[in-house]
Structure 1
Amino acid sequence: WEHYLSCDGTPDPTVPQEINTFMSLWCENQDEDIQLVMEKEEVVLNLIEKLEFLLLEADEITEKQRDQYQEFILQLQDLLHQKYNEATQNLLKVASMYEDSETGNMHTVIKDKNITFCIWVNLKKKARFKNHVFQKAGHGFDLPKSLALSSVAVRLLHTRYDHVSPLWNAASLKENSNNTGDIKETEEETEKNSDILDVPAQGIWLFFTCSTTKVLRLRILCEEPGGREEAPKVVDLQQLVPMGGVYHIDALQLPPQAQDVGDWSMVELLDVGLEVYPYSPGEAEDSTQAEVEITLSLPDNVIYFQVPMVARWDAAGQQWRTDGISNITYKAEEKSITFRMGAFYTVALLQDAHLNLPYQAWELHPTGVDEGLFTITAVFATIQIQIK
């Protein structure tokens, strides 16, 4: 009823037909620029927020509705990122029209309350212009020489929301569900075997345990020194949480630029979409020098009580990892952090979710008629909540 009274033209998140129509119509429009995507982004984020609120009402929705709402959230998040990619591609096609008079390259910053969009296009391909600082955003980078001589664009898209970490939650739930199924299947097989052999199930488990132990010991003894790979440094999001949003850092292929022919402007159109620039520092002679250096300006609305942990998103494993990030320098007073990456990644800054626990004390005292001040003293901070 509230949605009906608002009459703002946005789809009703509880009506699948309206959500599907909204996404289909937006998919068909592929000529939008960054500003138009930003305007539509506000609608998408509101829809996602409403769907997440509906998921909290577990007692009032069916299991089918819950699965449907979760699927809509993922589709809207994916579509939003896709539209930013399309808008980036449209901007890159005309990058030469906005080249900087001093460097001959193109760079710009577009931002609002939800995102900061930074892009640098290497039009002149000169080694002395291998680093750049986006003055309006405070972010910057330093490229290896091989990239400075290539037709490449660097995009830094900072979203103050996090549409990446929920993918880890979905993957974890799926894995736990599969593990539960495997355990039940193993228990059923064990009970079946114990019935056939006419011995207690506990004896079968002991047999399997002993056999597995022997195999593991044999495997360890046969391994050569140094042959075991180091376990990947996977982030546990129950212990650490991303703070300040997500930074999508990409190296992109530069599409053919427009050429002026008389009174006409001609450009070759390639139906390939936004292409990632293939870059691997392992191909360079000195992998250390081939790393990309990134400097991020930290958001003003986030307080880091400790040095943030820099993690990169592993799309294949659906998880945050800390390997591939090195030489981290945190400047608290300047509110910036600098690090090196072996490739271009989506990164986030993480903090311990429990660093302010346990709470040291709390106090509630009146400040007037029907008013009070609730004070919580934590490890690093004191929080005051005014109650009216």
Structure 2
Amino acid sequence: EENYSAIIRWKVDAAEKAEWERYMLCDGVPDAKDQRAVNTFVTLWKDYSDTDIEEELQLCNSAVKLIEALDELMKEAKDPELVPKYHDALIEVQEILHAKHLFIAEKLLKGASDNIDPDTRNMQTVSKHKNVTLCLWANLFKNPSFTGFDFQEAGLSFKLPEELAVSDIAVRILHTHYDHLSILSRLRHLPQKPIVEEIPPPVQQPEETRVGQNKSDGDCTSELPFTPRSPTSEPPVKSTSRPSSEESVIPAQTEELSGHICSLVLSDGPSKEKKKNLILAQLNSLSPPVPEFEEKEDDTEVVNLVQYTTLGGVFYYDLLQLPPQPIRRKGYTILQVFPYPIERSNKKECSDDPTEKPNKGACSPVGVSIVLPEWVVFMEMPLVARWDAGRWRKDGIINVSYEEAEGKISFEMESFQIFALMRNTFANFPFRGWELRPLGQNSAIYTVKGALIQISITIENSQCMLQVAQGRGLSHLVGKWMSGPALQKAMAKAGIDIFVNENTHKYVSICKKNPRIEQFAYDQMALYASACAFSWSKWNATCGEDNLVLQGCEHLKAGPVPEDSWNIYFVGSQRSRQLEITENSEAFSTDHAAGSEFHSTLIHVLQDSMSPDGIALVRKSHYCFVDTVQSLLSATRPLVFS
């Protein structure tokens, strides 16, 4: 209880500090919650086009941050009236962002003749920015034998159909290091998440008035995009059934903490509202997450965005009409009027004129090769998907070849289209094993042996550091200290996802356990992580749903835990004990070890065999360290997904 009180206060202070630092940053990105500031930013940026390319790209970077902030607000919004506002603002900013990217390409192509490469006699350029890589090629020479070009510094190359070799065209490959298209796909069918509303105390009033107000309230809520759910009503979304034991966790935990939380909220005056909101968020995190709305898609070629996630950003592969080039005569530059935005040809047919629509099937496929980005890691062959009609689709991609050693993938498409590389979100599940080992006071290392890759996370107070044997794609993460939530986001963005969500159990095999007992075990392991080591046990899969089995021992020395030091511990709903069996025993038995005693909790069983030095380390554990370890264990759930 003391640790919980301290960590709540620490998180409140950290949130207030982060909010103040964001306010003082003054980076040109408006506050996503301030609709007036967002509208001002959008209006000024839309009309502001007389800038150089670097400045325009900088504004695009600000828009990217704004889109990410709006997306987070949509996910966290509890007021249903705010969701459409965030949604509309997000769509508008995205549309302007795409228009600005076209404007940048148009500006470069208008001066293509001034930047002719003497070797190819065409124009090709690569412009790299923080979140964007722009590759442009302009067909000025119109060599009929031209087949394609390799942008070596960007790791991108394209293959041009011979029918287009003598056309007035340009090719744009815009690689955005982020994915904003998948958001649009999800927004087509927003999840009907229940909204928790505070119910005011009843007011004595005439019966007729109460009936009239109830009818009015019903009419009002029926027009909202989400349907609020009362605590006793059924959720409006279709979800898989969960065991009753899992559903009973929250009332018990909430009741246990309610009195303590009230004292926290009322203790500090000016920050009462912020503290209340944070504490409510902490309580909400205890509840089983509501599964997102999953639309049943009849078309098997549409990518399931629950099972697959884009990795490495999005590639905009476009065929553009080459704008008229300036003509210089006697010191004058003659420019031809050119409409904006540029016409893009996304047709499956080809001709000398990219805006003309010839007979179907007359065009050869267009090819592209990609060297996988250095800041992501693909543990399996990527799935190539193309964007079509608001969906990611798997069809229309042919002749895919993957060179794993070189980290290169090549394929062909029927036309110039937007595409992305995708990974299986749950490829690293289930785990093959795990271990939590102490490194000293308020320090430990958490190792997860995933299905495809083994990672280790060093924990020191509230900071975490990733360690992994496979260095490719992780140089920007390995050896860097950051907070637990920041590390989780960075790992997922890099393609290493060992953190479970509300859909993980639908796609991988699990060792089903009572969630209340499981969560209580993580709490106890975190409390003793400074002095005790814990590890996976094969007997956990045979002990039943309401019991847990894991290995554990006191470990105060540096280095790995000796094999003969491990003990087997049985954690039940009522009692815990040390078992007589070992990990190498032939059969499972619940007989307790000789000389050991039964206790109500795991930590009391551990204390029976711990030294005074080990107990002293545990009692001096900092609440930030305990919370960080507990958060990592709860986020990965090794007792269920191993």
Q: TM-score, normalised by structure 2?
A: 0.49
Which residue of structure 2 lines up, in the alignment, with residue 170 of structure 1? 187
Q: In the TM superposition, what is the alpha-carbon distance from 1:14 to its structure 2 partner? A: 1.8
Q: Is the CA contact (8 Å cut-off) linking 2:175 and 2:314 kept in structure 1? A: yes
Q: In the TM superposition, what is the alpha-carbon distance from 1:278 to its structure 2 partner? A: 5.9
Q: Does 1:274 align with 2:291?
A: no
What one-letter code is carried by the residue in structure 1 that aligns with 2:370?
A: L
Q: Does 1:328 align with 2:396?
A: no
Which residue of structure 2 lines up, in the alignment, with residue 354 of structure 1? 426
Identify the match of residue 56 of structure 2 among 37, 59, 78.
Answer: 37
What one-letter code is carried by the residue in structure 1 that aligns with 2:94?
A: Q
Q: Partners of 1:350 and 1:278 in 2: how far apart?
A: 22
Which residue of structure 1 lines up, in the alignment, with residue 369 of structure 2? 295
Which residue of structure 1 lines up, in the alignment, with residue 154 of structure 2? 137
Q: Partners of 2:408 and 2:345 in 1: how far apart?
A: 27
Which residue of structure 1 lines up, in the alignment, with residue 414 of structure 2? 342
Q: Partners of 2:82 and 2:360 in 1: how far apart?
A: 54
Deviations 1:290-337 (A, max 9, x none): 1111111110122112211111001x2x11111111000101111111
**Which of the pair has more CA radius of gyration?**
2
Q: Does 1:248 align with 2:316?
A: yes
Q: Is the CA contact (8 Å cut-off) linking 1:311 and 1:320 kept in structure 2? A: yes
Q: Partners of 1:172 and 1:231 in 2: how far apart?
A: 16
Q: Does 1:26 align with 2:100?
A: no
Q: Partners of 2:191 and 2:451 in 1: how far apart?
A: 36
Q: In the TM superposition, what is the alpha-carbon distance from 1:381 to its structure 2 partner? A: 0.7
Q: In the TM superposition, what is the alpha-carbon distance from 1:52 to its structure 2 partner? A: 3.3
Which residue of structure 2 lines up, in the alignment, with residue 377 of structure 1? 449
Q: Partners of 2:172 and 2:375 in 1: how far apart?
A: 23
Q: In the TM superposition, what is the alpha-carbon distance from 1:386 to its structure 2 partner? A: 1.2
Q: Partners of 2:145 and 2:54 in 1: how far apart?
A: 32
Deviates more, 1:98-107 or 1:66-75: 66-75
Q: Secondary structure in 2 aligned to 1:245?
A: strand
Structure 1 residues 174 and 121: CA distance shift in structure 2, 3 A: farther
What one-letter code is carried by the residue in structure 2 that aligns with 1:31?
A: D
**What fraction of aligned residue pairs are identical, expressed as a percent?**
36
Structure 1 residues 122 and 232: CA distance shift in structure 2, 3 A: farther
Q: Partners of 2:362 and 2:421 in 1: how far apart?
A: 23
What one-letter code is carried by the residue in structure 1 that aligns with 2:406?
A: E
Q: In the TM superposition, what is the alpha-carbon distance from 1:277 to its structure 2 partner? A: 3.1
Q: In the TM superposition, what is the alpha-carbon distance from 1:33 to its structure 2 partner? A: 4.1
Q: Partners of 1:333 and 1:33 in 2: how far apart?
A: 40
Q: Partners of 1:98 and 1:282 in 2: how far apart?
A: 27
Q: In the TM superposition, what is the alpha-carbon distance from 1:106 to its structure 2 partner? A: 0.2
What one-letter code is carried by the residue in structure 2 that aligns with 1:79?
A: I
Higher strand share: 1
Q: Is the CA contact (8 Å cut-off) linking 1:103 and 1:129 kept in structure 2? A: no
Deviations 1:11-55 (A, max 9, x none): 222221111111111111223443222211222222233333434
Deviates more, 1:230-239 or 1:119-128: 230-239
Q: In the TM superposition, what is the alpha-carbon distance from 1:58 to its structure 2 partner? A: 3.4
- When the two chains are superposed, the root-mean-square deviation of aligned CA atoms in Å is 2.5
Q: In the TM superposition, what is the alpha-carbon distance from 1:128 to its structure 2 partner? A: 2.3
Q: Secondary structure in 2 aligned to 1:333?
A: coil
Q: Is the CA contact (8 Å cut-off) linking 2:28 and 2:62 kept in structure 1? A: no
Q: Secondary structure in 1 aligned to 2:68?
A: helix
Q: In the TM superposition, what is the alpha-carbon distance from 1:81 to its structure 2 partner? A: 1.4
Deviations 1:39-94 (A, max 9, x none): 112222222333334345434xx222232123222222222111111111111111
Structure 1 residues 291 and 368: CA distance shift in structure 2, 3 A: same
TM alignment of 1:85-234, pairs within 5 A: 85-173=102-190, 233-234=301-302
Q: Partners of 2:162 and 2:34 in 1: how far apart?
A: 53
Q: In the TM superposition, what is the alpha-carbon distance from 1:279 to its structure 2 partner? A: 4.4
What one-letter code is carried by the residue in structure 2 that aligns with 1:133?
A: D
Deviates more, 1:295-304 or 1:31-40: 31-40
Which residue of structure 2 lines up, in the alignment, with residue 365 of structure 1? 437
Q: Partners of 2:81 and 2:315 in 1: how far apart?
A: 34
Structure 1 residues 139 and 175: CA distance shift in structure 2, 3 A: farther
What one-letter code is carried by the residue in structure 1 that aligns with 2:453?
A: A
Q: In the TM superposition, what is the alpha-carbon distance from 1:282 to its structure 2 partner? A: 7.4
Structure 1 residues 175 and 89: CA distance shift in structure 2, 3 A: farther
Which residue of structure 2 lines up, in the alignment, with residue 78 of structure 1? 95
Q: Is the CA contact (8 Å cut-off) linking 1:130 and 1:145 kept in structure 2? A: yes
What one-letter code is carried by the residue in structure 2 that aligns with 1:256?
A: P
Deviations 1:184-241 (A, max 9, x none): xxxxxxxxxxxxxxxxxxxxxxxxxxxxxxxxxxxxxxxxxxxxxx956111111111
Q: Partners of 1:78 and 1:387 in 2: how far apart?
A: 42
Q: Secondary structure in 2 aligned to 1:157?
A: strand
What one-letter code is carried by the residue in structure 2 that aligns with 1:45?
A: V
What one-letter code is carried by the residue in structure 1 that aligns with 2:410?
A: T
Structure 1 residues 49 and 135: CA distance shift in structure 2, 3 A: same
Identify the match of residue 258 of structure 1 among 326, 340, 363.
Answer: 326
Which structure ranks higher in relative contact order (CA pairs < 8 Å, sequence separation ≥ 6)? 1
Point out where structure 1 has 5 or more consecutive residues left out of the alignment.
182-229
Which residue of structure 2 lines up, in the alignment, with residue 308 of structure 1? 382
Structure 1 residues 146 and 31: CA distance shift in structure 2, 3 A: farther
Q: Is the CA contact (8 Å cut-off) linking 2:126 and 2:135 kept in structure 1? A: yes
